[in-house]
Structure 1
Amino acid sequence: MSLPVHLAEDLAGAARGGRVRVEGDEAHHAVVVRRLAVGERVRLVDGRGRAVVGPVVTAGKRLLEVEVDEVVDVPPPAPALTVVQALPKGDRGELAVEVLTEIGVERIVPWAAERSVAVWRGERAAKAHARWAATAREAAKQARRPWFPEVTALATTDRAAELVAALDVVVVLHEEGRASLGDVALPSAPEAADTRIGIVVGPEGGLTDAEVATFEAAGATTVRLGAEVLRTSTAGLAAAAALLARTSRWA
């Protein structure tokens, strides 16, 4: 069984034989909620590719101290995936973030699509973004990820299109797409490792013709997943899995 993972935001100076302290809510979760005890081994990650492994030497209500046996630097996952996720209603946004994080998406872009039922404005926007970021952080730990995904600021359609234009292969999921996901060409090795893949997921109300045209003008290909129409909270997961299965990450 893999070791439990907890976040230690600063591992820059971590070295074998040294100690790493984790304090506050993260330590409380490790010691009080997960009941980690002195002597148990744990993996601490900084969310930016560095991890340390070692036994717990101090376990307090808001303090966790680990003796470092091993330091590991993991390169970022390649090819990298970005998902532009239209805002779903209710708690389906957190569900989308959770499953996208678990499958290994590098960047999640909340998108204010024209037909999005949910609206992020003012204080509500800050709180909603914080929930998405917290969901990504917890899901990354659960998935044992050394690299945590970035949850960007809320994007307009124009801003989302700018991000799409900077990627190498982008698909827009649409039930009326003429191409299938399997028709999308992915670069072969060794170029495939550096490929930046994007997926655009529309809202419950569907994409407008103008939105589709904007993303296609930015270089995206509009595709259908199949005969079924998936919810916006799970469509990105399905597309990411189908694409990853064709890459070295899942080889």
Structure 2
Amino acid sequence: MTAPVFVVEGPVPGDRTYVLDGAEGRHAVSVKRLRAGEPLVLTDGLGAWSEAVVAAAEGKDRLVVEAGPVRTEPEEGPRITVVQALPKGDRGELAVETMTETGVDAIVPWAASRCITQWRGERGAKALGKWRATAREAGKQSRRVRFPDVADAASTKEVAALLAAADLAVVLHEDRDAASAALASAPLPAAGEIVLVVGPEGGVSPEELAVFEAAGAKAFRLGRSVLRTSTAGTAAVALLLGRSGRWG
């Protein structure tokens, strides 16, 4: 079994004794029940990490570890950003969780015109916080040391700007008339940025699609079946990671 991952606040400790406390320490001691001699990984979630070994567990929320040298995981390319329309209920957190576990690099919440859910005021801030917390926990669970960035919610105009700057701009679409080509046939850049838009339950509106196409995006379909908005992004990311060689 691979070593569990824990997040540190501030610089990742290297070649020294370090005390993991607070919520992470409590999780390590009381949930994971780590004991002396067991391995773990300390990371800042931004690519820096160090392998460590438990020296001692103190109480219920303090773990003393001996950290090894700090290493840095470079960003891989092409970078994949998913613009995720806001799903109903907790399906947004499901989408964030599975895309993070799959390997997405960034997630941008999008308030599409056909979204039933709308983020406004305090409710929007709370929902965004849940998405970010989900990405952090899923990053730890999947043993990542570089967690995906979850951006502030974007408008259609802001999404169009992201698409215009991308090396490959994709809008997933279920309609074969609108999306004549399969994503499996899209020409992938060797580096740079792929931006992929996943629409809401009601689909991307014709007006939104026109704005995105004007920004340089092309509509692609995933396959014969129609996936939910909460699973389409994960399937697309897996396909792109496999094709790009990042899963090799």
* TM-superposition CA deviations, 1:150-178 (whole Å, max 9, x none): 10001111111112222111210001112
Partner of 1:224: 221
Q: CA deviation at 1:24?
A: 1.2
Moved more, 202-211 or 33-42: 33-42
Number of corresponding residues: 244
Q: State the AA in 2 paired with 1:157.
A: T
| Kept in 2: contact 1:55–1:68 (CA 8 A) | yes
1:215 is aligned to 212
Rounded Cα–Cα distance in structure 1 between residues aligned with 2:216 and 2:246: 24
Secondary structure of 1:250's aligned partner? coil
**Structure 1 residue 69: deviation in Å?**
2.5
Counterpart of 2:75 in structure 1 is: 76
Identity among equivalent positions (%) equals: 53
Q: What is the letter of the counterpart of residue 183 of structure 2? A: L
- RMSD of aligned alpha carbons: 1.3
TM value normalised by structure 1: 0.93
Unaligned runs of 5+ in 1: none
> Is the CA contact 2:162–2:195 (under 8 Å) kept in the aligned structure 1?
no
Paired position in structure 1 for 2:39? 41
Counterpart contact for 1:101–1:140, Cα < 8 Å: yes
CA distance in 1, matches of 2:64, 2:44: 15
Q: Which amino acid aligns with 1:21?
A: V
Q: Structure 1 residue 248 and structure 2 residue 245: aligned?
A: yes
Residues 1-251 of structure 1 mapped to structure 2, 5 A cutoff: 1-12=1-12, 14-16=13-15, 18-60=16-58, 61-176=60-175, 177-187=179-189, 192=190, 194-251=191-248
Q: With structure 2 as the length reference, what TM-score do the two structures score?
A: 0.94
- Check the 8 A contact 1:84/1:109 in 2, yes or no: yes
Report Cα offsets for 1:25-61 as digits up to 9, x if no partner.
1111111111112322111111111111121124232
Amino acid at match of 1:150: D
Partner letter of residue 50 of structure 1? Answer: A
8 Å CA contact retained: 2:82, 2:107:
yes
Letter in 2 for 1:218: A
